[in-house]
Each structure stands twice: as C-alpha cells, then as structure tokens.
C-alpha cells in the first residue's frame, strides 16, 4: 500500500529545524516582553471577506494565492495568508481601542499561501507577527527596527540589510496616481495581462508584479517618494533621525513597495544575500487607515512579520523570573531627547521599560504607568535636567529618590538594586 505523504508545499518540522524555530520564538518573546508586547492567538480560518477588505482585491495574494473554500453552510472561508488582518479584527472585536491608549500585540503561528514552493518558502509557513495600535509617532517605527536588530544579533545573524521607504498617504498617492497612469499608458504593450487590468483600478500594484518585462518597465517609472506631502516627508525624516539615535544603519530604497494595499508611510524589508533571489525574511510597515476601513475608530498602526522558515536558514546554532518594570515619564521636548538613550540603556541591561509616546502631563503618565503595572517610575523634566538628576519613584510604597542623569549608569544601578537573576 502506498504511503501517505505530506502535501506539496507542506512539511514536517523536526530535528535541527524545530530547535531553530524554538530559538527564534524564545528570543522573540524575550525582546517583545522587554518592550511591553502582549501575546494573542487568532484563528487560522477566517471569513474570506476579511482578507479581501484588508489586503486588497487586486493583490497577488487575494487574486492567486489564498486557500479559499465554501463550507457546509455556504460561507466562503480562507486559511489566513497573513496575520495583520486577523489581529486587527481581534483588536476591534475585543474593543481594545476603548481600553488601552497604546496596544502592543504579537502572535506566532502558521500562515497559508498557494505559492510555488522554493527555498525557505512553503505553502504552510510560520511567522512572528508584531503590531502596534494607537500612535503615529515615528519613534515607534524606529523602535521596531531596532528591536529586530537586537533579535537578529541574539540569533547570530550578522549579514543582512534593512531597506526602508515611505509610500506616503492618500493625499500623496492621489497626485502620484495620475502621473503613474500616464506613464504606464504609454507602455501598455510591455505590460502583462494582470498589470493591464490593474492599470486603472490600482496602478501601484504594478510595482509588485514578478513578470520580467513589467519589472523592466517599473525600473523606468517615476517614484512615489518624490511626491510625498510635507507631513509624510517630515515623518520619514524623523524616522531616519530616530534610527540614527538607535545606532541602526538603514538603506533608503525609493522603489521599495509592499504587496498589500493597506500600507501607508513607512515600509521596510530586511534581506539577506544568503537566501538567494527571494532574500527578504522580515517585512512590514505602517497602516494608519486599516482599522478605520475595517469599521473601527481612526487608529494609526504599524507592524511587521518575520518569516521563521527563511530566518531559520541563516540562524547561527525554565521559566524566566519576573523582572521589575520601569516606566520613563518625561516632561517636555528636552526630556524626550532622553527617550531613545533611556530605552536603549534599559533593554541593554535586560530590564523591561515602558513609556508614553505622547509625553502628556505627569499625572496622566503616572496613571498610565500604574495601569501598565510599572514597579518604578523614572521622572524627568526641565528641573531635573538642570540638576543633572532623575527621580525614581517606587509605585508600591510611593517612596522616591534621585540618581545621576546618566541613562547607562542609571540602568546598571537599578539592575543591581532591584533585579535578581
């Protein structure tokens, strides 16, 4: 009798591979915990309409790659091809937007796409998916990329490149769309059938085409980056400045686009030449309109996904005790300048740190810190800066004291005092 084998594009994960998967998961959870992310799990099976509405009906994923079927009740269902749509649905369904100022969420699990199997790419694949809802501050864009760099260093991945771009907002795209359609209209004879169909419905999707002739046409096209509005240009420049603060080098690739319709402003890909032609293993970006388009309140958001199969190809080879949680409360722009150094110093020491992106009143930040379960609040304003000191308040007994205003020295001192391995 013939043995039953796995389906094409599916595989068992065992031996060394499962060990690498566990390393990726453990390291991811470690850094996500340090920066205040909460884990959720969403179903692998969702309504097909969820993905059509979020990903876009002219994308390759929706048009060609989804595992979709009609169930016994006549409903169209789809195995999730990516995680963001399901996480947004869960965010809205659970009413997180009404309970939390900022929601930092991650999920780890399998995704499904009917693609041609190739190196590190399967029809069932696994992702670490990370999402942040509730802030449009470019600091979080940079923070996510910095966190990825820490994770990759932990996993022994040294040779990789971070490519970044801005795809603007609806205002930028409206002006650029007219220019782009005019450009492609003069080159219709060189476009594939799919791109001809997309030309007037969603011309930006032409940039995602894998047809060799379309790629050649795209290389001659105008750049959306050159049509960014003032606000989008300022956001991108601030993002690059924060990346510099974190000490993480990035490459601006003005032709970088993502294959999903919901992206706005910052987009990025992390690639390795060790993976061959399909060299991206992490990608993401901002999607400031998706929550609203799916029936929720206006909510800026950003996220990324790590392809675990592809990352596992380049990875080099007991329960954690609870760590005290610190909250950095800053008052004013001078104090906010210490945000990146403070966050870097605490994470370098393995200490969980939280903070507000908006930097509201001290009362508001203290209330926020209490809601997050912070053990200590670090208070910094103009008066403390003038004294070259920072106030440390114990949230349990309300006792407080001052230490020198040196982020690195502060983190070391507080670790010695309050964190026992």
- Tens of pLDDT, residues 290-332: 999 999 999 999 999 999 999 999 997 634 457 899 999 999 9
Residues 20 and 95 in one domain: yes
Q: Does some domain include residue 186?
A: yes
CB 84 within 8 A of CB 259: no
| Structural domain boundaries enclosing 361 | 326-418
Q: Does some domain include residue 275?
A: yes
Residues 6+ apart with CB under 8 A from 319: none
Residues 282 and 407 in one domain: no
Residues 53 and 134 in one domain: yes
Q: Is it the case that residue 258 has pLDDT exceeding 60?
A: yes
Q: Which of 184, 207, 225 is the last residue of a domain?
A: 225
pTM: 0.88
Mean pLDDT estimate for the chain: 92
Q: Does some domain include residue 3?
A: no
Per the structure, the count of domains in the chain is 3
Residues 158 and 191 in one domain: no
Residues 161 and 180 in one domain: no
Average pLDDT of the residues in 133-156: 97
Contacts 24+ apart (CB under 8 A), 148-151: 148/270, 148/282, 148/304, 148/306, 149/246, 149/248, 150/31, 150/347, 151/27, 151/28, 151/31, 151/306
**What is the pLDDT confidence band of residue 6, given thresholds at 50, 70 and 90?**
very high
CB 231 within 8 A of CB 264: no
Residues 33 and 153 in one domain: yes
93-125 pLDDT, tens digit each: 999 999 999 999 999 999 999 988 777 789 999
């Amino acid at each position: 009798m013939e043995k039953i084998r796995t389906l094409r594009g599916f595989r068992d994960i065992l031996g060394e591979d499962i060990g690498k998967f566990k390393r990726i998961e453990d390291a991811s959870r470690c850094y996500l915990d340090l920066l205040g992310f909460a884990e959720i799990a969403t179903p692998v099976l969702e309504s097909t309409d969820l993905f059509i509405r979020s990903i876009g009906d002219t994308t390759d994923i929706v048009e060609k790659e989804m595992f979709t079927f009609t169930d016994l009740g006549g409903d169209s269902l789809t195995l999730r091809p990516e995680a963001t749509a399901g996480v947004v649905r869960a965010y809205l369904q659970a009413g997180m937007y009404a309970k939390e100022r900022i929601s930092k969420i991650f999920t780890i699990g399998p995704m499904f796409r009917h693609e041609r199997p190739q190196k590190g790419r399967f029809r069932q694949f696994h992702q670490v998916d990370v999402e942040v809802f509730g802030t449009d501050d470019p600091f979080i864009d940079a923070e996510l990329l910095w966190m990825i760099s820490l994770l990759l260093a932990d996993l022994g991945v040294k040779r990789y490149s971070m490519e970044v771009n801005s795809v603007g907002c609806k205002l930028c795209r409206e002006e650029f769309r007219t220019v782009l359609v005019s450009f492609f209209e003069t080159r219709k004879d060189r476009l594939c059938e799919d791109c001809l169909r997309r030309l007037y419905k969603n011309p930006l999707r032409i940039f995602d085409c894998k047809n060799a002739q379309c790629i050649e046409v795209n290389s001659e096209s105008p750049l959306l980056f050159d049509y960014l509005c003032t606000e989008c240009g300022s956001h991108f420049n601030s993002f690059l400045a924060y990346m510099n603060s974190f000490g993480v080098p990035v490459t601006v690739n003005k032709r970088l686009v993502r294959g999903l319709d919901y992206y706005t402003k910052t987009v990025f890909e992390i690639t390795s030449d060790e993976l061959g032609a399909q060299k991206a293993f992490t990608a993401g970006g901002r999607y400031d309109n998706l929550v609203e388009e799916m029936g929720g309140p206006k909510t800026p958001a950003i996220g990324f996904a790590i392809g675990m199969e592809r990352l596992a190809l380049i990875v080099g080879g007991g329960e954690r005790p609870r760590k005290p949680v610190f909250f950095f409360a800053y008052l004013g722009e001078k104090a906010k300048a210490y945000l990146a150094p403070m966050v870097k110093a605490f994470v370098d020491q393995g200490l969980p740190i939280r903070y507000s992106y908006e930097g509201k009143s001290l009362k508001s930040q203290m209330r926020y810190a209490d809601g997050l379960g912070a053990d200590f609040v670090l208070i910094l304003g103009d008066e403390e800066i003038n004294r070259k000191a920072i106030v440390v308040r114990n949230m349990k007994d309300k006792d407080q004291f001052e230490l020198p205003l040196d982020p690195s020295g502060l983190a070391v001192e507080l670790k010695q005092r309050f964190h026992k391995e």
